[in-house]
């Protein structure tokens, strides 16, 4: 496209905004039944997902990605789990005690996701934003699968979701995860250690077991949904560099 090559040429000369690239329109679709009344072909923006375990470095990388994208002239919107106006507070309260069944808690999360999809993700895509998701349906599905919910039922439940333009899965070894979580919070989280599953009374042991179970489910999901697996055991800058290269490709459809 002549317009595109102009922008690429110009970007080489301008030192202040060397990264501006025109996003190519996506062929947007839902995984399943979608949301009634939404025409995916009218969603012009880009939907980028960063997945990974607790402490894998998602926030670190997303914040760098936002700086880079916004510094390059792209408008971004960030979304994540448990951030809906509809149920995030109730969900947080429910997590303070272990009182809900696995199914109810799972449906709570699904409601939170659906609300954000309808009221944050879709409107931002309509307006042409780059939407960056700190986790998406895959984490929700993997957690539910570990708790015995059927794959088919979950795939149907999350058929409302839009297919993202890219899913970057930050892969970190369980040992590094423990280290990163400790360096950040000086503790492990009850839910992220799968303590509700009774895998072990020792939280550290439970964390390692639970994260391994999640990795197994993610591997299954990877085969179905085709995530881009990023080696995130490396230094922050290296992971950042890798993600930038991949993002450029998503935005332009080119390798460089
Ligand atoms: N590549 C890396 N190498 C070493 N340490 C890292 C790396 N990336 C992030 N960290 C550190 O690990 C900790 C967790 O990182 P971060 O908060 O970005 O992860 P997260 O996936 O967003 O975690 P959470 O699930 O709690 O939201 C932080 O202390 C961060 O500085
Ligand atoms: Mg985070």
pLDDT score for 8: 43
Whole-angstrom Cα Rg for the chain = 19
Tell how far the Cα of 101 is from the centroid of ligand 2, in angstroms. Answer: 26
The Cα–Cα gap between 90 and 198 comes to: 24
Q: Is the pLDDT of residue 13 over 90?
A: no
Q: Write the DSSP assignment of 67-111 as a string of letters.
A: HHHHHTT--EEEEETT--TTTHHHHHHHHHTT-S-HHHHHHHHHH
Q: Is 56 in the pocket of ligand 1 (CB under 6 A)?
A: yes
DSSP 8-state symbol, 44: -
Q: Which of 81, 142, 138 is nearest to 114 (CA)?
A: 81
Residue 183 CA: nearest ligand 1 atom is 29
What are the φ/ψ torsions at residue 243 (nearest 5 degrees)?
-65, -40
Highest average pLDDT, of 82-86, 184-188, 190-194, 227-231, comes from 227-231
Which residue's alpha carbon is at the smallest distance from atom 15 of ligand 1? Answer: 57
Q: What is the pLDDT of residues 125-175, one digit of tens each?
A: 999 999 999 999 999 999 999 999 999 999 999 999 999 999 999 999 988
pLDDT score for 255: 58
Tell how far the Cα of 236 is from the centroid of ligand 1, in angstroms. Answer: 9
Domain at 31-252: CATH code:
3.40.50.300
E strand spans, the chain: 46-52, 76-80, 130-134, 166-171, 228-231
User: Which residue ranges make up each domain of the chain?
Assistant: 31-252
Say whether pTM exceeds 0.85: yes
Average pLDDT (63-88) is 91
Q: What is the pLDDT of residues 21-61, one digit of tens each?
A: 677 767 899 999 999 999 998 999 999 999 999 899 999 99
**Tokens of residue 167, six digits:** 């899913």
Q: Is 119 in the pocket of ligand 1 (CB under 6 A)?
A: no
Contact present, 139 and 59 (Cβ < 8 Å) = no
The Cα–Cα gap between 142 and 119 comes to: 24
Tell how far the Cα of 249 is from the centroid of ligand 2, in angstroms. Answer: 25
Q: Is 194 in the pocket of ligand 1 (CB under 6 A)?
A: no
> Which ligand minimizes its atom distance to the CA of 185?
1
Which residue's alpha carbon is at the smallest distance from atom 11 of ligand 1? Answer: 180
pLDDT score for 3: 43
**Tokens of residue 181, six digits:** 């979580």
Q: What is the pLDDT of residues 88-110, one digit of tens each?
A: 888 788 777 777 788 888 898 99
């Amino acid at each position: 496209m002549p317009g595109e090559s102009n922008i690429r040429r110009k970007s080489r000369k301008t030192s202040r905004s060397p990264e501006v690239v025109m996003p190519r329109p996506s062929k947007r679709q839902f995984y399943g039944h979608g949301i009634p009344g939404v025409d995916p072909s009218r969603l012009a923006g880009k939907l980028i997902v960063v997945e990974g375990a607790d402490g894998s470095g998602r926030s670190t990388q997303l914040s760098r990605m936002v700086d880079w994208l916004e510094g390059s002239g792209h408008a971004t919107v960030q979304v994540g789990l448990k951030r809906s106006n509809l149920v995030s507070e109730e969900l947080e309260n429910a997590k303070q005690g272990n009182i809900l069944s696995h199914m109810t808690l799972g449906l709570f999360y699904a409601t939170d996701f659906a609300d954000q999809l309808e009221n944050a993700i879709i409107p931002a895509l309509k307006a042409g934003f780059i939407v960056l998701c700190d986790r998406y349906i895959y984490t929700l599905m993997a957690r539910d699968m570990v708790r015995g919910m059927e794959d088919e039922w979950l795939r149907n439940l999350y058929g409302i979701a839009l297919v993202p333009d890219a899913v970057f899965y930050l892969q970190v070894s369980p040992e590094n995860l423990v280290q990163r979580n400790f360096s950040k919070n000086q503790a492990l989280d009850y839910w992220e250690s799968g303590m509700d599953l009774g895998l072990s009374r020792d939280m550290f042991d439970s964390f390692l077991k639970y994260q391994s179970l999640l990795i197994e489910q993610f591997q299954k999901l990877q085969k179905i949904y085709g995530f881009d697996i990023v080696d995130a055991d490396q230094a922050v800058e290296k992971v950042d560099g890798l993600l930038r290269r991949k993002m450029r490709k998503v935005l332009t459809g080119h390798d460089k």
